[in-house]
């Protein structure tokens, strides 16, 4: 099978997905706008050929350059697991006559209003929502929906440029910050616990799913620098309290006609038990949440996805063994990391339960915490018992401190 993958070297886990395709026997063609010499070694080993284009963001040019450079090579699949490239992949499928998300289907995964409108039509509970392309339209939407509100880009990813607005004064203060966003979704604020529903799907059938929860909600974590955000992949996905979210997840996949690949959905569980859809992407979650799935079930998620795409089977039998917590750390101060306190003591306490440590080394420039959830690195740990997992995660949050100056 000949598979074209967009941006095989970026974001951080794309090399592993590229490997997953190659190990399942695919002839993998990569396309990107960076030089081949700059690709990670794992990508270079996994690709049969790499096509460098002048820009990934000029779809007509990409189509022209690929048509010329891949002349004589028939493509069986075109894959993109990076949010900004979802529509380009759909355009390439149409041009090369390849099955997968069509332009219309891909649009429903990228445009939050189109997404929610399709789910409204299917009877799935979504937040009340209005698309707004001007300040006046935002005010009209606020009057219609009522406070509190969430404002977010129609085609955004994650919680970038997303704001909770509690009253008219806060709306007045937030609107100037969104001048660079051409179209925003003004939504009802849903008060509840926030979860994911992540799937590997084959021909419209969910072959594997993962549920994770955020501590605290991403919007709170993104608004307070002192917080060490946590993502917890849950072992017990059959917990009765999650049943409504699981049912909704299956219904969303069906309503949006997703066939084969990875999806990442977010949903809310209110205090009264009601479940409410949040949003969904036709790609995996970021911030190394796919690695959480790997450690939760001790299986190669990247290869399982590759098998789903190339063979139509999962080629794995995941056993849910652990809860997995990722705790993202943010250094105090600005500049370069100077020292880290608490790492050795925590390692002695938790030992084998710590599966990954990516904290930046002293001397490394601190990252902009507003631009990346990974921040200045993370600790990933696992345990079969959820309470033990949460206790260890909280200890990392409070007892490990990074400093910069």
Distance from the Cα of residue 322 to its chain's centroid: 21
Contact 44, 14 (CB under 8 A): no
Q: How far, in Å, CA of 161 to CA of 151, rounded?
A: 8
pLDDT of residue 159: 63
Q: Is 76 exposed, middle or buried (0-12, 13-18, 19+ CB in 10 A)?
A: middle
Q: How far, in Å, CA of 334 to CA of 357, rounded?
A: 21
Q: Which residue has the tokens 């490394």?
A: 364
Structure tokens at 26: 């695919």
CB neighbours (10 Å) of residue 347? 14
pLDDT of residue 156: 67
pLDDT of residue 157: 64
Half-sphere exposure of 71 (CA within 13 A, CB side): 4
Nearest of 202, 276, 259, 229 to residue 379 by alpha carbon? 229
The dihedrals phi and psi of 388, each to the nearest 5 degrees, come to -65, -40
Contact 355, 367 (CB under 8 A): no
Q: How far, in Å, CA of 334 to CA of 315, rounded?
A: 46
Nearest of 41, 14, 23 to residue 31 by alpha carbon? 14
User: What CATH number should be reported for the domain whose range is 191-318?
Assistant: 3.30.470.20
pLDDT of residue 306: 98
* Residue ranges covered by each domain of the chain: 2-100, 128-188, 191-318, 322-405
Q: How far, in Å, CA of 52 to CA of 54, rounded?
A: 7
Spatial CB neighbours of 108, under 8 Å, sequence gap ≥ 6: 114, 115, 118, 256
Q: Which residue has the tokens 């979860």?
A: 195
Distance from the Cα of residue 22 to its chain's centroid: 23
pLDDT of residue 193: 96
Q: Is 123 exposed, middle or buried (0-12, 13-18, 19+ CB in 10 A)?
A: exposed
User: What CATH number should be reported for the domain whose range is 128-188?
Assistant: 3.30.1490.20
Strands 149-153, 184-188: parallel, antiparallel or unpaired by DSSP?
A: antiparallel
pLDDT of residue 371: 87
Which CATH number does the domain 2-100 belong to among 3.40.190.10, 3.40.50.20, 3.30.420.40, 3.30.230.10? Answer: 3.40.50.20
Contact 88, 59 (CB under 8 A): yes
CA dihedral defined by 139, 144, 146, 150, rounded to 10 degrees? -60
Full 3-state SS string of the chain: CEEEEECCCCCCCHHHHHHHHHHCCCEEEEEECCCHHHCCHHHHHHCCEEEECCCCCCHHHHHHHHHHHCCCCCCCEEECCCHHHHHHHHHHHHHHCCCCCCHHHHHHHHCHHHHHHHHHHCCCCCCCEEEECCHHHHHHHHHHHCCCEEEEECCCCCCCCCEEECCHHHHHHHHHHHCCCCCEEEEECCCCEEEEEEEEEECCEEEEEECEEEECCHHHHHHCCCCCCEEEECCCCCCHHHHHHHHHHHHHHHHCCCCCEEEEEEEEECCCCCEEEEEEECCCCCCCHHHHHHHHHCCCHHHHHHHHHHHCCCCCCCCCCCEEEEEECCCECCCEEEEEECHHHHHHHHHHHEEEECCCCCCCECCCCCCCCCCCCEEEEEECCHHHHHHHHHHHHHHCEEEEC
pLDDT of residue 158: 60
pLDDT per residue rounded down to tens, the chain (405 residues): 999 999 999 999 999 999 999 999 999 999 999 999 999 999 999 999 999 999 999 999 999 999 999 988 899 999 999 999 999 999 999 999 999 999 999 999 999 889 999 999 999 999 999 999 999 999 999 999 999 999 988 876 666 788 999 999 999 999 999 988 989 999 999 999 999 999 999 999 999 999 999 999 998 998 899 999 999 999 999 999 999 999 999 999 999 999 999 999 999 999 999 999 999 999 999 999 999 999 999 999 999 999 999 999 999 999 999 999 999 999 999 999 999 999 999 999 999 999 999 999 999 999 999 888 899 999 999 999 999 999 999 999 999 999 999
């Amino acid at each position: 099978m000949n598979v074209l993958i967009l941006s095989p070297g970026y974001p951080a886990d794309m090399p592993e997905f590229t490997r997953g395709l190659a190990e399942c026997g695919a002839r993998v063609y990569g396309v990107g706008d960076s030089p081949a010499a700059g690709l990670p070694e794992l990508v270079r080993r996994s690709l049969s050929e790499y096509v460098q284009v002048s820009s990934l963001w000029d779809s007509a040019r990409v189509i022209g350059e690929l048509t010329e450079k891949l002349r004589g090579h028939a493509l069986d699949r075109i894959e993109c697991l990076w949010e900004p490239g979802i529509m380009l992949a759909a355009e390439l499928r149409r041009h090369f006559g390849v099955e997968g998300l069509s332009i219309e289907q891909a649009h429903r995964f990228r445009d939050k209003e189109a997404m929610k409108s399709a789910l409204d039509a299917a009877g799935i509970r979504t937040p009340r929502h209005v698309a707004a392309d001007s300040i006046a339209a935002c005010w009209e939407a606020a009057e219609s929906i009522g406070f509190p509100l969430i404002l977010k880009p129609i085609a955004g990813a994650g919680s970038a440029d997303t704001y909770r607005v509690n009253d008219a004064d806060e709306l007045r203060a937030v609107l100037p910050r969104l001048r660079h966003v051409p179209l925003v979704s003004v939504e009802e604020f849903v008060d509840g616990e926030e979860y994911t529903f992540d799937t590997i799907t084959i021909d419209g059938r969910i072959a594997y799913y993962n549920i994770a929860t955020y501590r605290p909600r991403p919007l709170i974590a993104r608004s307070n620098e002192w917080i060490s955000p946590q993502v917890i992949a849950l072992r017990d996905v059959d917990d009765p309290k999650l049943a409504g979210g699981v049912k909704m997840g299956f219904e969303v996949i069906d309503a949006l006609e997703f066939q084969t690949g990875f999806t990442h959905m977010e949903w809310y569980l209110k205090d009264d038990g009601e479940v409410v859809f949040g949003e969904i992407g036709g790609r995996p979650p970021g911030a190394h949440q796919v690695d959480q799935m790997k450690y939760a079930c001790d299986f190669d998620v990247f290869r399982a996805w590759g098998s789903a795409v190339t063979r139509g089977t999962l080629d794995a039998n995941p056993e849910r063994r652990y809860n997995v917590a990722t705790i993202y750390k943010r250094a105090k101060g600005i500049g370069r990391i100077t020292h880290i306190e608490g790492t050795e003591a925590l390692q002695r306490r938790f030992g084998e339960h710590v599966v990954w440590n990516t904290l930046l080394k002293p001397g490394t420039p601190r990252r902009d915490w507003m631009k990346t959830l990974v921040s200045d690195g993370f600790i990933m740990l696992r345990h079969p018992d959820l309470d033990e997992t949460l206790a260890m995660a909280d200890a990392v949050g409070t007892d490990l401190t990074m400093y910069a100056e």
